[in-house]
Amino acid sequence: MPSEIVFAAGCFWGVEKNFKKISGVIDAVSGYTGGNYDNPTYHQVLENRENNEKITNHTEAVKVIYDSKLVSTEYLVKNFWELHNPTQFNGQGNDIGNNYRSAIYWTNDAQKKIALETRDEYQKLLTQKGLGKIVTELKPLDKFWAAEDYHQDYLAKNPNGYCPNHRTGVKFSSEV
């Protein structure tokens, strides 16, 4: 039976593309989670940054569906930490707003344990490089809604689409 975990690391297009390249990942689906109402649209999620008086609290996220016999949860979570800047609060680079926040939403206790342990390990590495404190939201997944069809595989369909690199350059080791 496939496992699922949800990651938020800024714009979901690049996050989806990154995880789809990993052997053992069955699918990566762009979508929304963490908000205070059901079935959000892209326009509604963008209201987070356009109208601070009407915070919906949804974030762009990617549900990663994977075969844990082929790729470990630890590998995926370490990839997540290295994929973006987990020290930037409510955004990645010029993408600002809580809809671009860093987050891991787990679906079981084993994933929670891995998320917390790797966070602590990555924080030590960041500190050694003089970088700030991790501000990633870590919590169980409540609900996830797939984004509109035009967001799925966006960078495969639009190879010149906007997708900046926000990595810190800090790596766990050569294994990720």
Catalytic residue set: 11
- Residue among 93, 95, 105, 169 nearest 136 (CA): 105
Coil vs helix vs strand at 8? strand
34, 103 in Cβ contact below 8 A?
yes
Q: Is 152 helix (H, G, I), strand (E, B) or coil?
A: coil
Residues in the chain: 176
- Per DSSP, the residues of 73-140 read HHHHHHHHHHHS-TTSTTEETTEESGGG-EEEEESSHHHHHHHHHHHHHHHHHHHHTT------EEEE
